[in-house]
C-alpha cells in the first residue's frame, strides 16, 4: 500500500465522519509492514471493532472512535464489507507455539520470606519471544541451533524464525540431542510437521559437523523429497521461508459482526 497516497486521500475520505468540534483525527495503517511504537519498538496490533466508512481500490477505512480510524490494505483482507457495516478486525500479530500472542507477559511464581507464593508477570518492551517447545538440550550444537531459531530474524525483518514456524503451522516437534561422541553418527537435529499451501510433510533442520553448516530436509511419507545442503546460520530463515512459508499469515482477518448486514464484496 502506498502510505503517502493514502495519507493524502484520508482527509477527504473521513471528512463527514469527524465531529465538527474536533480539528484533527488519528489513524493507523494496517498492511504488510511492521508497526512500531513511539519508542521505536516493533509492536503487534490488537484486534479492534469499527464501522466501514469508505473503500478505495487500495484501502478500506474503518472508523474505530470519535476521531480515530484504521486503514486496511484491501489486497490483504479476507473480505471487503460494504460501507456502513460493523466489523471485527484482527491484523497479523506474532504468536507462540501454545497459541498465545507472543507479546503475552511471562508468568513465574516467586515466594515471600515466609514461603507464601505469588505470581509475577514480566514483559520486556519490544520483546515477543516464541520459544521452541523442546527441553534444554545437552548438545552445544543443538543449543546453538535452538538459540538461532529463536533469535534470528525471518526475511521480513519483523518475525523471528520461530514466529515463521508458528505461522507455517509447525507441530509435533522432535529432536536429536546426541553426546559429543555420537555427533557425526546421529547429527543434532530439530524436526516438525507442517501442513499448509506451500508444503505438507515433515521438515528436519540438522547440523552438519564436517562443514559446520546446516541442512534442511523435506520429508513426505518417510521419503526425502527435497534437501538443501550448506545452509549458513544467517540464511536459515530465508531457506525455511522459501520451503514452507505460504504467506497466509499476512492476511488481515475481517469478520462482519452479528446483527450487521450480511452483504460483502470479495
pLDDT at 215 over 80: yes
Is residue 115 in a domain?
no
Is residue 9 in a domain?
yes
Q: Are residues 192 and 257 in the same domain?
A: no
Q: Are residues 47 and 148 in the same domain?
A: no
**With contact defined as beta carbons under 8 Å apart, do 97 and 169 qualify?**
no
Number of folded domains in the chain? 2
pLDDT digits (tens, 9 = 90+) for 147-172: 999 999 999 989 999 999 999 999 99
The secondary structure element, H or E, covering residue 162 is helix 161-167
For range 66-74, the mean pLDDT:
96
Q: Are residues 175 and 211 in the same domain?
A: yes
Give me the sign of the Cα torsion angle 143, 144, 147, 150: negative
Alpha-carbon span 104 to 107, nearest angstrom: 9
Q: Are residues 65 and 166 in the same domain?
A: no
Q: Are residues 173 and 63 in the same domain?
A: no
What is the residue-averaged pLDDT of the chain?
91
pLDDT digits (tens, 9 = 90+) for 108-143: 787 888 888 878 776 666 678 999 999 999 999 999
Give me the sign of the Cα torsion angle 13, 18, 22, 26: negative
Which CA distances in Å does 40 have to 47, 79, 95, 140, 249? Answer: 21, 31, 20, 34, 23
Q: Are residues 255 and 240 in the same domain?
A: no
Q: Are residues 175 and 239 in the same domain?
A: yes
Backbone torsions φ then ψ of 71, nearest 5 degrees? -110, 120
Is residue 113 in a domain?
no
Start-to-end C-alpha separation, the chain: 18
Give me the sign of the Cα torsion angle 234, 42, 164, 190: positive
**With contact defined as beta carbons under 8 Å apart, do 120 and 104 qualify?**
no
Q: Are residues 156 and 242 in the same domain?
A: yes
Contacts of 141 (CB under 8 A, 6+ apart): 183, 188, 207, 209
Domain of 135, in residue numbers: 129-248
Is residue 124 in a domain?
no
Is residue 100 in a domain?
no
Output the pLDDT for position 98: 95
Is residue 82 in a domain?
yes
Q: Residues for the chain: how many in total?
A: 266
Q: Are residues 80 and 146 in the same domain?
A: no
Alpha-carbon span 109 to 153, nearest angstrom: 31
The secondary structure element, H or E, covering residue 146 is helix 140-151
3-state SS, one letter per residue, for 69-84 = EEEEECCCECCEECCC
Q: Are residues 135 and 190 in the same domain?
A: yes
Is residue 110 in a domain?
no
Q: Are residues 28 and 75 in the same domain?
A: yes
Is residue 101 in a domain?
no
pTM, full prediction: 0.87
pLDDT at 266 over 50: no
Output the pLDDT for position 126: 62
Output the pLDDT for position 265: 47
Mapping DSSP to helix (H, G, I), strand (E, B) and coil, where does residue 253 land? strand
Output the pLDDT for position 23: 87
**Is 30 or 259 the better-scoring residue by pLDDT?**
30
Task: Could you list the beta-strand ranges (E) of 68-163.
Answer: 68-73, 80-81, 86-90, 106-111, 117-122
Q: Are residues 26 and 68 in the same domain?
A: yes
For range 166-188, the mean pLDDT:
94
Amino acid at each position: 500500500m502506498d502510505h503517502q497516497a493514502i495519507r493524502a486521500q484520508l482527509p477527504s475520505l473521513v471528512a463527514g465522519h469527524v465531529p465538527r468540534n474536533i480539528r484533527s483525527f488519528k489513524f493507523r495503517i494496517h498492511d504488510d509492514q511492521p508497526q512500531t511504537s513511539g519508542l521505536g519498538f516493533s509492536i503487534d496490533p490488537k484486534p479492534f471493532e469499527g464501522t466501514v466508512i469508505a473503500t478505495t481500490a487500495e484501502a478500506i477505512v474503518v472508523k474505530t472512535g470519535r476521531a480515530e480510524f484504521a486503514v486496511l490494505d484491501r489486497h490483504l483482507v479476507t473480505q471487503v464489507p460494504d460501507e456502513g457495516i460493523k466489523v471485527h478486525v484482527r491484523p497479523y500479530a506474532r504468536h507462540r507455539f501454545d497459541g498465545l500472542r507472543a507479546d503475552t507477559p511471562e508468568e513465574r511464581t516467586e515466594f515471600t520470606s515466609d514461603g507464601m507464593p505469588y505470581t509475577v508477570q514480566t514483559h520486556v518492551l519490544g520483546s515477543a519471544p516464541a520459544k521452541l517447545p523442546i527441553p534444554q538440550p545437552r548438545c552445544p550444537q543443538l543449543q546453538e541451533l535452538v538459540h538461532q531459531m529463536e533469535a534470528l530474524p525471518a526475511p521480513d525483518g519483523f518475525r523471528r524464525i520461530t514466529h515463521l514456524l508458528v505461522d507455517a503451522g509447525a507441530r509435533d516437534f522432535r529432536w536429536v540431542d546426541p553426546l559429543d561422541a555420537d555427533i557425526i553418527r546421529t547429527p543434532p537435529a530439530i524436526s516438525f510437521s507442517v501442513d499448509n499451501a506451500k508444503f505438507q510433510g515433515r521438515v528436519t533442520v540438522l547440523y552438519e559437523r564436517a562443514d559446520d553448516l546446516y541442512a534442511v530436509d523435506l520429508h513426505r511419507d518417510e521419503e526425502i523429497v527435497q534437501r538443501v545442503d550448506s545452509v549458513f546460520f544467517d540464511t536459515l530463515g530465508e531457506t525455511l521461508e522459501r520451503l514452507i512459508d505460504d504467506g497466509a499469515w499476512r492476511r488481515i482477518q475481517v469478520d462482519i459482526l452479528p446483527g450487521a448486514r450480511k452483504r460483502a464484496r470479495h
